[in-house]
Amino acid sequence: MDLVIVGSVAFDTIKTPYGFVNRVLGGSATYCSISSSFFSKDVGVVAVVGEDFDNKYLRYFLDKGIDIRGIEKRKGKTFFWEGEYSDNLNDAKTHKTELNVFKDFNPTLPGEYENCKYLFLANIDPDLQNKVIQKVKNPKFIGLDTMNFWIQNKKDSLLNVLKQIDLLFINEGEAKLLTEESNTIVAGKKILELGVSRVLIKRGEYGAILMEKDNVFLIPAFPLEKVIDPTGAGDTFAGGFMGYLAATEDKSFENLKNCILAGTIMASFNIEDFSIKRLNSIGFSEIKKRMVKYIKSISLDGEKFLKQI
Summarised one tens digit per residue, pLDDT across range 91-122 is: 889 999 999 999 999 999 999 999 999 999 99
pLDDT on residue 10: 98
**Edge-to-edge order in the sheet of strand 92-98:** 19-26, 10-16, 80-85, 92-98
pLDDT on residue 233: 96
Q: Is the dihedral of CA 76, 78, 79, 81 positive or negative?
A: negative
Q: From 10, 283, 269, 259, select the one nearest 118 (Cα to Cα).
A: 259
User: How many angstroms from the chain centroid is the CA of residue 78?
Assistant: 20
AA identity, residue 22: N
**Edge-to-edge order in the sheet of strand 67-73:** 67-73, 43-49, 3-6, 118-121, 141-145, 167-171, 198-202, 208-212, 215-219
Mean pLDDT of successive 10-residue segments in the chain (309 residues)?
97 97 98 98 97 95 97 98 91 93 96 97 96 96 96 96 97 96 97 96 94 95 94 97 98 96 97 97 96 90 76
Gap between the Cα atoms of 219 and 208, Å rounded: 6
Q: Are 143 and 161 in contact (CB under 8 A)?
A: no
pLDDT on residue 101: 98
Q: Are 46 and 147 in contact (CB under 8 A)?
A: no
Q: How many CA atoms lie within 13 A of 139 on its CB side?
A: 28
pLDDT on residue 150: 95
pLDDT on residue 55: 93
Q: How many CA atoms lie within 13 A of 150 on its CB side?
A: 22
SS3 assignment, position 126: helix
Q: Which helix (H) or strand (E) holds 132?
A: helix 126-135
Torsion from C-alpha of 123, 188, 184, 154, nearest 10 degrees: 40
In the chain the domains, ranked by start, together with CATH numbers, are 3-307 (3.40.1190.20)
pLDDT on residue 91: 81
φ, ψ for residue 47, nearest 5 deg: -160, 180
Q: Is the dihedral of CA 4, 110, 121, 52 positive or negative?
A: positive
Q: Is the dihedral of CA 123, 53, 239, 248 positive or negative?
A: positive
AA identity, residue 196: V
CB atoms within 10 A of CB 309: 4
pLDDT on residue 89: 86
pLDDT on residue 157: 97
